Structure formats: C-alpha cells, structure tokens
A and B are shown apart, each in its own frame.
Chain A
Amino acid sequence: MTEKRKIGFPRMADYNYALKYLIEKGLEQQYVMQPSMTQKTLDIGSRYSPDTVCTPFKTTLGSMIEALESGADTLTMIYGPCRLGYYGELQEQILRDLGYEFEMINLAAYDTGKKKDFLKAVKRANPKVNLAKLAVAGAEAMQMTEYIDDVTSHYYKNCGFEQEKGAYKKAKERFLSDMNAARSRHEIEDGYRQVKERFRSIPLDKKEYPLRVGIIGEYYTTMDAFSNLEIEQKLADMKVEVHRWMNVSHRNIHYGGEKNLKVRIQDLCEYEMGPTASANIWCARDYAERGFDGLIHIKSAGCAPEIDVMPVLQNISKDYKIPVLYLTYDTQTSDTGLMTRVEAFYDMLLMRKKVIG
C-alpha cells in the first residue's frame, strides 16, 4: 500500500470535522488537524501577509503554517468570487518563499468553467480514488455540516438561558468530539440524536420576549468564533437570543442563488452586490420585519463586498428603526474593546425595549 497523503486545511469554525470525514472516508487519505487558532496563529499569519489584505487571509495563512508544522504535506485551499479566489496562489507563494515544502491543491486552479476539471483535483489528491465511495462520503460530510450548523444555531439561541451554567457547552463539545471521531453515517446520526436529546433535557429560564439579536456579515468572520472573538458567546452570556443565518448549509448547500432571495429586497438592490450581499440584505430585512431588537454586522477589515453593503443596511436601519452595530475585525481588535462596545449596545437595546415595550 502506498503511503497516504497528509492533507491540511485552515481551521474554519467547526467545519474541519466534516472535511476530515470527507478526506479520510472519501479520498482515503489522512487529514491533519492542526490545533485551534490562537492569537499566535494570527500573529504569525499577519507577519507574512500583505498589510491591507483582509483578515481571513492572515488567519488562514497562520493556520496553514500550523498545519504544516503539525505534519501536513499537502495543503488545499478553496476559492470564491471575492479576494478569496486568489488566496490559494498567494498563500502558496508566501509559504514557498518562507521555505516550507509541501504540495498545494489549489481548487481555484481547477475552476475553469468545466465541472469535469475538478475531477483532476480529486485525482491529484488520490489517483486511485473510488468515485462511488467519494460521492457517498461527500453526501455524509454534507449531512454532518448541516448537523453542525443546526446544533450551533440551536446552541447560540438557547445557551444564555440555561439554569445550570455550562450544560449547553458541555453537550456541544461532546457532540463535536463525536463528530471528530465519527467514521460512519450511523455514528454521525447517533451523535446528532444524542446532542438533541441532551439539549432538550437542559432546563431553560427563558422569558416570553427575550432580547433577540441577528448576526449578519462576512462569510468567514461571522462563522468562525475565533475570528469574531466569540461575539455570539458574549451576547448569549448576556441572556440574548442570538440568530445567525449565515453558515455553510445556508450559503453553500441550500443557497438557491440570489434569484429568490432578491424578490423581497428588489427596492434596495437590483443586482447582486457581492458574494454574500443579497443574502445579508435579505437576512437583515427579514430580521427587521420579524421584530428583532438589533442587528450586528460583522466584517473583517477591508472586506470590500461587506463595506459596500453597509449603505443598504443603514437604509434598512432607518426604515425599520432597528439599531445596527457595525464591527470591523482586524489583527489589532482586542477583547476588552469589543466587550465595551457590545455591552453599550446591549444596554441600549435593553433600555429601548423597556421604553418601546
């Protein structure tokens, strides 16, 4: 038997477990899980990145370095319609100039307009790939992604109201370690069923109308708890019901394109303004119409598409009289500074709720 590749990918929220499943079950290669990101990851990434690039470039570069240092010999990178489309090549160049040795499977290089070309990328990862197996593992990994999103969404909506401190966190961590260890569809389903049962058994102390805050914004920074300094947890700890539409299941697996999301926001934007713009504008209006108490717009410093969405959000804020807190994350953003702003926002929402009813 030939030696297996050790494939690494930057950390991204909790989705690495699904990726691990896909690579180990579908591609039958080894996946290298680097440690979770810390300030050091960001420091090391930003040291070697261009100054004005968006922050996810820096965090993912740092995470790639950590993957290589954890033993990966192959890195892979996804692509997207914004600057993300160029991440892979520039990161590879930077890492090579630093002296790291690895093989790079940059999916952007296979994005030629023909779907068939992606097979080449798969064949490079494993020339003897069993496509039937890959398809099954792909479907199962997708299922796991949906479960992770479902659990995360349920978690942030309720964890602030638990009576016994830490019960939700424990259940979620148990679930994630189950997903990390899952080797079959059966185990994935089991883990999900168990976490749902545990969640259900946690007694809640939730009033009828708790504060509800919607999180919208840039793809990576909203989803990745390290990158947004755990803002959702911070809000939940203040007894806020935190909603977030943006996740991989909604944006990638079930995203019907901009077509049908645009119907309700036609007056605000006629065309797609950026990769996640229609989704965010639709989501902001949806939250506003459902009577949320506030919105938080999250983006990394210099994220052009999200900056361009801001004038539209300002209009939504005016139309529906809903407060919006705009947060920009760069490598300097500190926990304390963020906390001050979030606390002030929370106090304002609470006072407003008391006055308005």
Chain B
Amino acid sequence: MSGDFYQYISYTDLLRNRKKVLRIKKTERNIVIGIPRALHYERYHVLWHGFWEDLGVKVITSPETNRQIMENGMKLAIDETCLSLKIFIGHVNLLLGTCDYIMIPRICNLGKRRDMCTRFYALYDLCRNVFRDSPQKFITYNLDMINGNDEEQAMTGMALSLGFTKSEAHKAYKKAKKKDVEAWKNKRKEQEARYKSNQTGILLAGHSYVIEDAYIGRPITEALKKLGVTVIRGDISDISNALKQSEKLSPTMRWEINREIVGNVYENKDHVDGLILLSVFPCAPDSMTNEMIVHKIKDVPILNLVLDGQSGVAGVETRLESFVDILNFKGGRL
C-alpha cells in the first residue's frame, strides 16, 4: 500500500481501519508529533521522545524559550495566569501547523496527596479553547492515578488511538521508561557531585520548568555560577525519599512537585550555605509552600525570588550578588 492511503482517510478512520493500516511498516507511518518545550517537558522529555521514536513517529519540539515566544504567549493567555503557562502557550503557538498533532498531556496526580497544580488538569482543554480557530489537532493522555489511569495505560492508550497495536505501544513504553529511569539516575549522580564542591553552595528550590527554562530560569543559574557559587538543584532528588521527608515538614502538602522540592530542601538544608526559593508570578502552589518553608526553616538564609517576566536581568543580578555576599560573609569567605 502506498503513502496515498493517508490522503483520503482521516485519522479517526485510522482507528477503524487499524488492521489494514497495521500491515504498513512502522517507518512508513508519517505522523509528526509536536511537543512544546515548556512546563512538563523538562521532567518527561526522555520518556516522550523515547516513546514516540520507538513507534517510528517523528517528533518535533519548539525551540528553547526566547523573548519572542514569551511575548506571544503573554498576548494569547489570560493576563492573570502564571508566567510558565504564558510561555507554554507561546510554545504551542509556534508549533501550530508544523505537525499533525501537538501533544499536551493531562497530568493530574500520581496518587493520593501527589497532585499536580490544577493548571495541569486544564492544560489540554485550555489550549484547545485558546487555539480553537486553528485547524491544528491536539493529542493528550490522561494520567490520573486516583481514578486508575496509570502512566503506561494512559500513554499506550494514546498510541492506540493513532492506530498502533497494543504490543507495539507497551513495548515502546517499557523501553522509553527504562531510558527515563536511567536519565534520572545520571542527573542524580551529577547532583551528588555538586554537594562535594568546596564553593559556596546554594540550593535552588524551584520547579524544573522554571530552573531549566532558557529565558527566565537559566540566566539565574548562570549568574550564580559567575559569582562562584555551586548551584544545587532542588528539583532533582530521590523522589520516594523526598516525599517521605516532606511529610516531616508539612504533613498535608498535596502537590507532587512541591513535595519533592520541599522534602529535598528539608533533607539537605544543613549541607548548603543558602536557599533560594525560585518561583514565577503568580504560582499557585508556591505561594503557599514557600511561605511554609519560610515559617519552618529558620537556620538557613533564604532568598525568595519571584520572576514576573517584566524585570530586566540587572535587578535580579543585584539581589543575587548581595545574597551571595551575605552567605560568603557568614561563612567567613569574604
């Protein structure tokens, strides 16, 4: 069967004609999936890329965040949403028309008291509504462990809807998950090496999509490195241990990412010189959990840094410099 087959059937028909389609070799399925490089991309990219590439699907991602993307997102999003969502919408906007499907997963929770911010509940439907006038199709998977949708089931379900077989999908998921676990281990190894550094150590507590964002978060790590500081990331940890630790600091905290960060902070606060709470304006969970950290942790200097996408780098740099000076002074290095 030739590639022309795709010309006259829609993708919903694909599901119906699965058996016919399946006779085609994997590599001949010319589906292109677009993934915005924002929000959960940083946390899941190994899994997502691994999964689709194993299925023979071409994956394209948006470029790293730049001023243009952020400003486009700001125009399209509701004024009061958080900066990270605005950036996400900017990325989705850039992907419109460049791929068959844009993948926007709905990641709700990983179990009891392991919720994501409600923003992730809405993400898929939100984007569908913002870009309703565009013919772009979106694809999602629904990770909701409380209601019995685990990651494997959700992701393979998504592949099934595109016409892949069950065995193909499960195999791809397992392979990708293995890669994902491996990548996380490597990240943790790098992290542990940082603790051994002799420089002033600062634990940067923030969501991975803020810290890793090329436009808003990375300038901060760069600036800190320039000041001779070893930046230890709060978002990389042994997750099950961090979750246990977080219960010691705050038993009813309910957000997965915040619990990972808070647990990590609680465990390692004595191994660092200072703590920077990095969040975007107006992050819903951070507005409360950072307050809790400030109330409960009294023996480590804390800088509460909120990014709003408006301020130039200079203002932030000044604050970082003075904070690092205080730490060095306190540690007898100045």
User: Does A53 make an interface contact (CB < 8 A)?
Assistant: yes
Chain B: minimal CB distance from A234 (Å):
23
Among the stretches A200-208, A286-294, A301-309, A334-342, the one at the interface with B is A301-309
Q: Say yes or no: B288 contacts A53, CB within 8 Å.
A: yes
Question: Across the interface, which residues of B come within 8 angstroms of A97, CB to CB?
Answer: 295
Q: Say yes or no: B82 contacts A304, CB within 8 Å.
A: yes
User: Does B117 make an interface contact (CB < 8 A)?
Assistant: yes
Mark each residue of chain B from 276 to 287: 1 if its CB lies under 8 Å from any CB of chain A, else 0: 000001111101
- In the complex, number of A-B residue pairs with CB atoms less than 8 Å apart: 117
User: Does B330 make an interface contact (CB < 8 A)?
Assistant: no
Q: What are 9 inter-chain pairs, A to B, with CB distance below 8 A?
A: A52-B282, A53-B291, A54-B284, A86-B289, A89-B253, A268-B129, A269-B125, A304-B118, A304-B119
Mark each residue of chain A from 81 to 114: 1 if its CB lies under 8 Å from any CB of chain B, else 0: 1110110111001100100000000101101110
- Of the candidates B82, B287, B306, the one having the most CB atoms from chain A within 10 angstroms of its own CB is B287
Q: Say yes or no: A274 contacts B122, CB within 8 Å.
A: yes
- Bound Cα distance from A90 to B290, whole angstroms: 10
Q: Say yes or no: A108 contacts B252, CB within 8 Å.
A: yes
- Of the candidates B125, B251, B254, B284, the one having the most CB atoms from chain A within 10 angstroms of its own CB is B125
Q: Say yes or no: A270 contacts B125, CB within 8 Å.
A: yes
- Bound Cα distance from A174 to B6, whole angstroms: 71
Residue of A nearest to B117 (CB): A304
Residue of A nearest to B258 (CB): A86
Q: Say yes or no: B288 contacts A86, CB within 8 Å.
A: yes
Mark each residue of chain B from 240 to 271: 1 if its CB lies under 8 Å from any CB of chain A, else 0: 00000000001111100000000000000000
User: Does B81 make an interface contact (CB < 8 A)?
Assistant: yes
Pick the 7 closest A-B CB pairs, nearest first.
A273-B122, A308-B122, A50-B291, A269-B125, A52-B287, A311-B129, A52-B282
Q: Say yes or no: B118 contacts A89, CB within 8 Å.
A: no
Question: Across the interface, which residues of A come within 8 angstroms of B78, CB to CB?
Answer: 307, 310-311
Q: Say yes or no: A50 contacts B126, CB within 8 Å.
A: no
Q: How many residues of B contact A (CB 8 A)?
A: 40
Q: Say yes or no: A113 contacts B112, CB within 8 Å.
A: yes
Of B118, B121, B126, B296, which one neighbours A93 at CB under 8 angstroms? B296
The answer to whether residues A86 and B296 also contact, given A271-B121, A274-B121, A302-B282 and a CB cut-off of 8 A, is no
Residue of A nearest to B82 (CB): A304
Residue of A nearest to B106 (CB): A271
Question: Across the interface, which residues of A come within 8 angstroms of B288, CB to CB?
Answer: 50, 53, 57, 83, 86, 90
Q: Say yes or no: A52 contacts B292, CB within 8 Å.
A: no
Q: Say yes or no: A308 contacts B81, CB within 8 Å.
A: yes
Question: Across the interface, which residues of B come within 8 angstroms of A53, CB to CB?
Answer: 287-288, 291
Question: Across the interface, which residues of A come within 8 angstroms of B292, CB to CB?
Answer: 89-90, 93
Question: Across the interface, which residues of A come within 8 angstroms of B285, CB to CB?
Answer: 83, 86
Question: Across the interface, which residues of B come within 8 angstroms of A94, CB to CB?
Answer: 291, 295
User: Does A328 make an interface contact (CB < 8 A)?
Assistant: yes
Chain A: minimal CB distance from B186 (Å):
33
Q: Say yes or no: B129 contacts A312, CB within 8 Å.
A: yes
- Bound Cα distance from A4 to B80, whole angstroms: 46
User: Does B124 make an interface contact (CB < 8 A)?
Assistant: yes
Mark each residue of chain B from 103 to 137: 1 if its CB lies under 8 Å from any CB of chain A, else 0: 00010000010010111011011101110100000
Chain B: minimal CB distance from A61 (Å):
12
User: Does A51 make an interface contact (CB < 8 A)?
Assistant: yes
User: Does B142 make an interface contact (CB < 8 A)?
Assistant: yes
- Bound Cα distance from A76 to B80, whole angstroms: 31
- Bound Cα distance from A113 to B111, whole angstroms: 10
Q: Say yes or no: B252 contacts A308, CB within 8 Å.
A: no
Q: Say yes or no: A88 contacts B252, CB within 8 Å.
A: yes
Other than A57-B288, A113-B112, give 7 A-B pairs with Cβ distance below 8 A: A81-B115, A82-B284, A85-B115, A112-B112, A271-B106, A312-B129, A328-B80
Of A88, A111, A302, A305, which one neighbours B287 at CB under 8 angstroms? A302
Question: Across the interface, which residues of A come within 8 angstroms of B128, CB to CB?
Answer: 269-270
Mark each residue of chain A from 16 to 57: 1 if its CB lies under 8 Å from any CB of chain B, else 0: 000000000000000000000000000000000011111001
User: Does A315 make an interface contact (CB < 8 A)?
Assistant: yes
- Of the candidates B140, B142, B254, B306, the one having the most CB atoms from chain A within 10 angstroms of its own CB is B254
Mark each residue of chain A from 247 to 270: 1 if its CB lies under 8 Å from any CB of chain B, else 0: 000000000000000000000111
Mark each residue of chain A from 117 to 147: 1 if its CB lies under 8 Å from any CB of chain B, else 0: 0000000000000000000000000000000
Question: Across the interface, which residues of A come within 8 angstroms of B129, CB to CB?
Answer: 268-269, 311-312, 314-315
Of A83, A109, A310, A312, which one neighbours B251 at CB under 8 angstroms? A109
- Bound Cα distance from A314 to B133, whole angstroms: 13
Q: Say yes or no: A273 contacts B252, CB within 8 Å.
A: no
Residue of B nearest to A114 (CB): B112
User: Does A277 make an interface contact (CB < 8 A)?
Assistant: yes
Residue of A nearest to B132 (CB): A315
Residue of B nearest to A107 (CB): B252
Chain B: minimal CB distance from A163 (Å):
42
- Bound Cα distance from A242 to B325, whole angstroms: 59
- Bound Cα distance from A29 to B324, whole angstroms: 54
- Bound Cα distance from A348 to B284, whole angstroms: 34
Q: Say yes or no: A85 contacts B295, CB within 8 Å.
A: no
Q: Say yes or no: B251 contacts A301, CB within 8 Å.
A: no
- Bound Cα distance from A275 to B122, whole angstroms: 10
User: Does A173 make an interface contact (CB < 8 A)?
Assistant: no
Q: Say yes or no: B119 contacts A50, CB within 8 Å.
A: no
Residue of B nearest to A79 (CB): B252
User: Does A272 make an interface contact (CB < 8 A)?
Assistant: yes
Chain B: minimal CB distance from A288 (Å):
15
Q: Say yes or no: A274 contacts B254, CB within 8 Å.
A: no
- Bound Cα distance from A89 to B250, whole angstroms: 8
The answer to whether residues A86 and B119 also contact, given A50-B288, A97-B295, A308-B126 and a CB cut-off of 8 A, is no
Of A51, A79, A93, which one neighbours B295 at CB under 8 angstroms? A93
Chain A: minimal CB distance from B38 (Å):
16
Question: Across the interface, which residues of B come within 8 angstroms of A309, CB to CB?
Answer: 122
